[in-house]
Structure 1
């Protein structure tokens, strides 16, 4: 069975969806990597029986140092794919070199428009009528990797920001697991 490792920094709703839809059915979710000790994704992992590796970036002089430690942890499980699910750090060259073409991310906007930390707010501020999510390969840029898949919906213009965020999360939960499954079959 192929293995994936999920990286997350926050609540972990995408992580939980991936585990519930794919773990031990289509792949093994072998590890959760998290950069924030108190993040709820770590609690979700415990409840779901998924091993975790939590690190503290401030304990390291530079990104390459903690990415070397992450690579050591990853080598123990030998993942076929690394799945970023709300991981709020830019992947550095150390991880990119070790796992080239094997790291994917989901972004809450229709790339190439609105890359970066707050794609939803940026899209809303611009007044777009079509909102969506993008799954893409991770490269050295910020949300610049090759697009794998996208999904979208048309705004009515009456939704609150919270309603838009909820719809974006629903799209993420629908799109990400089948994309992961498809990539593991390649």
Structure 2
């Protein structure tokens, strides 16, 4: 069973979903700590569940803050770190310490629409489809190896909120699948650079 540290910044809805799956036994992992860059609802959920938490408020320079975050994470000796709505970029040095066991979900079909506004950018581009992705975090912005993806149709009446609401459940399912595959050996994170992304087209 994988030992997970999850980083959050906001409401923690994706984290909450993952917590339910791990405790139900559908994902063979245990969330051993939850960290954040600020006080947030995600931390409240973790505390209510009896999970250790930590807060490392962002300060400049980023490299020093990132090193402290990595120190806090490594103290728990996790097998995997999951960024779940964590809204800060870690420094390349911190990423190098944690990767490839450092995952993130993204609300677009990467490499399409990277960055903080993937849903908004997809709508602005007028595409018929966007998607969701799970990646290994690298030193770039949403440029790491892709572990799983799924396409999602953009409806004519979609706005940013409605489209994001339909992407989130897909992100959660993909993340659960990837973590399960890692736990069961179907994904070897040390070989992901040579892997072909797992893709699923809409039915």
Q: Do the two structures share a fold, i.e. TM-score over 0.5? A: yes
- The alignment yields a C-alpha RMSD, in angstroms, of 1.6
Cα distance in 1, alignment partners of residues 19 and 50 from structure 2: 10
Cα distance in 1, alignment partners of residues 23 and 38 from structure 2: 23
Name the residue aligned to 2:170.
Answer: 171
The answer to whether 1:160 aligns with 2:162 is no
The answer to whether 1:183 aligns with 2:185 is no
**Corresponding residue SS for 1:181:** helix
In the TM superposition, structure 1's runs of 4+ consecutive aligned residues that sit over 4 Å from their partners are none
Cα distance in 2, alignment partners of residues 126 and 75 from structure 1: 40
Structure 2, gaps ≥5 residues long = 186-203
Q: CA deviation at 1:24?
A: 7.5
Of stretches 65-74 and 148-157 in structure 1, the one that deviates more from structure 2 is 65-74
Cα distance in 1, alignment partners of residues 125 and 35 from structure 2: 34
Of stretches 173-182 and 3-12 in structure 1, the one that deviates more from structure 2 is 173-182
Q: CA deviation at 1:71?
A: 2.5
The answer to whether 1:4 aligns with 2:4 is yes
**Corresponding residue SS for 1:145:** coil
Contact 1:80 1:184 in 2 (8 A): no
Name the residue aligned to 1:13.
Answer: 13
- What TM-score do you get using the length of structure 2 for normalisation? 0.84
Name the residue aligned to 1:45.
Answer: 46
Name the residue aligned to 2:191.
Answer: none
Name the residue aligned to 2:128.
Answer: 129
Q: CA deviation at 1:27?
A: 1.2
**Corresponding residue SS for 1:79:** coil
Aligned residues: 183
Name the residue aligned to 1:103.
Answer: 102
The answer to whether 1:33 aligns with 2:32 is no
Cα distance in 2, alignment partners of residues 122 and 71 from structure 1: 31
Structure 1, gaps ≥5 residues long = none
Of stretches 100-109 and 70-79 in structure 1, the one that deviates more from structure 2 is 70-79
Contact 1:81 1:184 in 2 (8 A): no
Cα displacement string for residues 32-66 of structure 1 (whole angstroms, at most 9, x for unaligned residues): 110012x21111112222211111112xx422222
Cα distance in 2, alignment partners of residues 96 and 113 from structure 1: 22
Q: CA deviation at 1:68?
A: 2.4
